[in-house]
Structure 1
């Protein structure tokens, strides 16, 4: 393992690159049909039911989710095709899903923690309408660490909790990342990242104080030929559960509760602070 980088860094260039990255991250977060636009979440079972803001009666079984539409329902489209009557979607894989459309509403049909869910997203939701951005620490190169990816002999299934009560997630962990931060030897169990590399879910001594209590996430690029990786905690971000109760975000593995205060990255959203006051 190597110490947090102390090589000279152009502070202005570092801050500029971070600002461009975070502006793009915020732009995606505030998408009209992103998670800030979620209006509710419904966990389906065998009993057909209405979901607020969504046409039809919804249910599920081992054969997958089903919607039953009648002539009085608003149109519901999948891939540009208007559905009618009874439509069987078939089994949905874990962490996979479909997007349907009904007027201005995008309807997410997905599987999370073994449960089929319906989660409508509407651009008029107050959370999205009133969103003004996420507070952050000032970016600082001192929070960039160099470490090493240590693979397991084979990926290990890791069960973690969820922001949704009673729900669990299982992820395959390919290994751990070992690094030092402020002279402290640390390690994180990592999962596969979106589009390659790794994803680390973690808490630290700022969690519940200045940062969101349940979790933050950090994307880590694939290692170099020697297994070296870079961890830029200035780019630690909140998951959807930091903003909305209609989320099923995974919690960090127990071993990813870091015994240091990482004063970098995104802080607790203003929306959560308001809700707690």
Structure 2
């Protein structure tokens, strides 16, 4: 799919973003992030809990981390093994309007707690966008990097993730040649994290995300009109990757999502 074809459903993409962020499973509904230790981790509303819920019983149950497996033992009920988000959607434990699930960050496990009724108190106000601009739908060269780069990419929690980068997107803006390094290359999409001169002003300070269709014949279409805010723009309980210095663009990109009105940075 080329840039011209991609732009036809931009409004639909924006509507999907709004639906995602305004729904019960939105990033805006997160109310806690708690890092676990191997062994038993108490969960509940009590002061002695590792995972501190904002409501519910003083002791809801225990999370038992044993090797590469983690089990949920409710205070009343049978234990069950939970899946983390390492390979896809994690298992979810419900407690009234609250739910929690396990995230795996380079072998460190944490619990994210979500309030599914979050929007009843403060509904999502929506996102602002720059005007759709075909000039920011760019067809870049997809160049091989040999040997591949090994990068340590930081995230918002201060952790480092090792990423192998075997290709780069190369393009020009106003006669200035630049490159973008992908953070992940999959069968169905290529994922970038970048900053630009609008970051911290019109757009979120820590940068934005961009997804592209897989390259075809050595070309990749980068539609910056679909650049979007990372989860950490909406909640302090996200662990977003930060853009490497190589992806700090030396000009403003007035396209895509603008900084949320209630931004955290």
Q: Deviations over 1:25-51 (max 9, x none)?
A: 221222211322212111111352322
Q: Deviations over 1:178-204 (max 9, x none)?
A: 011222211001132566221110000
User: Alpha carbons of 1:25 and 1:38: their partners in 2 closer, same or farther (altered >3 Å)?
Assistant: same
Structure number with the higher strand fraction is 2
Query: Once superposed, what is the RMSD of the aligned Cα atoms?
Result: 2.8
Match of 2:238 among 247, 260, 263: 247
Shift of 1:58: 2.5
Aligned to 1:163: 156
Residue 64 in structure 1 maps to residue 69 in structure 2: yes
Residue 29 in structure 1 maps to residue 18 in structure 2: no
User: Alpha carbons of 1:155 and 1:106: their partners in 2 closer, same or farther (altered >3 Å)?
Assistant: farther
User: Alpha carbons of 1:113 and 1:95: their partners in 2 closer, same or farther (altered >3 Å)?
Assistant: farther
Give the SS at the match of 2:90: strand
Give the conservation status (yes or no) of the 8 Å contact 1:97–1:110.
Answer: no
Provide the aligned length of Structure 1 versus Structure 2.
Answer: 249
TM-score (norm 1): 0.79
- What stretches of structure 1 of length at least 5 have no aligned partner? 72-83
Aligned to 2:42: 49
Shift of 1:270: 0.8
Quick one: distance in 1 between partners of 2:33 and 2:242? 19
TM-score (norm 2): 0.82
User: Alpha carbons of 1:65 and 1:157: their partners in 2 closer, same or farther (altered >3 Å)?
Assistant: farther
Residue 211 in structure 1 maps to residue 182 in structure 2: no
Quick one: distance in 1 between partners of 2:235 and 2:172? 33
Q: Deviations over 1:119-156 (max 9, x none)?
A: 12222225984211111111111212121111234654
Quick one: distance in 1 between partners of 2:74 and 2:221? 51
Shift of 1:105: 3.4
Quick one: distance in 1 between partners of 2:136 and 2:254? 8
